[in-house]
Amino acid sequence: MKRVKMIVAYDGTNYCGWQIQNNGITIEEVLNRELTKLLKEPITVIGASRTDSGVHSEGNVAVFNTENRMPADKICFALNQRLPDDIRILQSEEVAPDYHPRKQNCVKTYEYKIMNRKIEVPTMRLYSYFCYFPLDVERMREGGAYLVGEHDFKSFCTARGQAEETVRTIYSLDIDKSGDLITIRIKGSGFLYNMVRIIAGTLMKVGMGVYPPAHVEEILDARDRKVAGPKAAAKGLSLISLDYETELKKQIRGENKEWSYTLSQDKIVSERKAWLYIHRCREEDFERLLIRVVHQAVQNGAETIFVRDEEKDGRIILGKSYGFYIFQADPESQGWSVTQK
């Protein structure tokens, strides 16, 4: 048995997204079917990003297990001969048996393209959103700057698909214009359901002059989907790449006007220990931050996490369950140690 990782590119126009559904054909369905035929055994792929109907990809990631003796790096060539023209495997390789594309730290990059002119260009109609109203790119950049960093993006998540934890980190948000084509390029730790499309729709409202750039910060603060802009059409969105960490970051710093913390991870590999220092945090965000960052440390390999609340005593309660975790007083660290329930 070996596990094979694939880089998958596709034109999403004719598909109902990545994940298998009852209402139409999907990328996952096609890959499962053709891999099963090729390798002569039942194959089920696991995708890193479950893109929506009509969304494109230049670099999604998927893995599957197989008993077949075909070399992993040759599977892409054999599979491409069977796939329709709008799906291609750019690379295939063998990975560790426990490798999971959704459980690895990575940077996801998306692009949203807007054709901004008076009359639509037919050759771009499937890969960009057409907007005839002139957009002010500088205003869009100013508004987009408020989204960079670690924030609660609840306002930018479709309610019916809302995750329990809505905090994400955007590392960069760049907006470029070449001729009539505007490209919004976003890099982040992960994205909520429809998050990039709602960001694009909101920034277009800023570019039109409907919202002032500073209103983007007000939308973030509201944590209410109703106050953000519309969800932009799927066809303008492409998943560009997923860049996985090759080594664990020694330190993670999260800071905005609601909270500030440091997660020290330099002893995770050698001692399975991590330290969380909460410098400040609003009361209403404290418990969520505690659970979220401790869970991140556990996912990264920590078995013991020491926590210190530097702002206020009494916010961590002895013996109380915080998600999957219980906190115990730790005299050595003058804080708290965490154990899983």
Collapsing DSSP to helix, strand or coil, 180 comes out as: coil
Q: Residue 211 annotated as binding?
A: no
**Could you tell me which residues come within 8 angstroms of residue 9 by beta carbon, excluding any fewer than 6 positions away?**
57, 58, 59, 60, 87, 88, 89, 90
Active-site choice (11, 52, 152, 309): 52
Cα gap 258→282, rounded to integer Å? 6
**Could you tell me which residues come within 8 angstroms of residue 23 by beta carbon, excluding any fewer than 6 positions away?**
16
Written as six digits, the tokens of 141 are: 């950049």
Closest CA to 188 of 246, 232, 148, 248: 148
Helix extents (H) in 89-214: 137-145, 195-208
Beta pairing class for 335-340 and 304-309: antiparallel
Please indicate whether residue 52 is annotated as part of the active site.
yes
Q: Which helix (H) or strand (E) covers residue 306, if one does?
A: strand 304-309
Closest CA to 34 of 79, 94, 87, 90: 79
Binding site, by residue number, is: 110
- Give the catalytic positions in this structure: 52
> Which residues are known binding-site members for substrate?
110
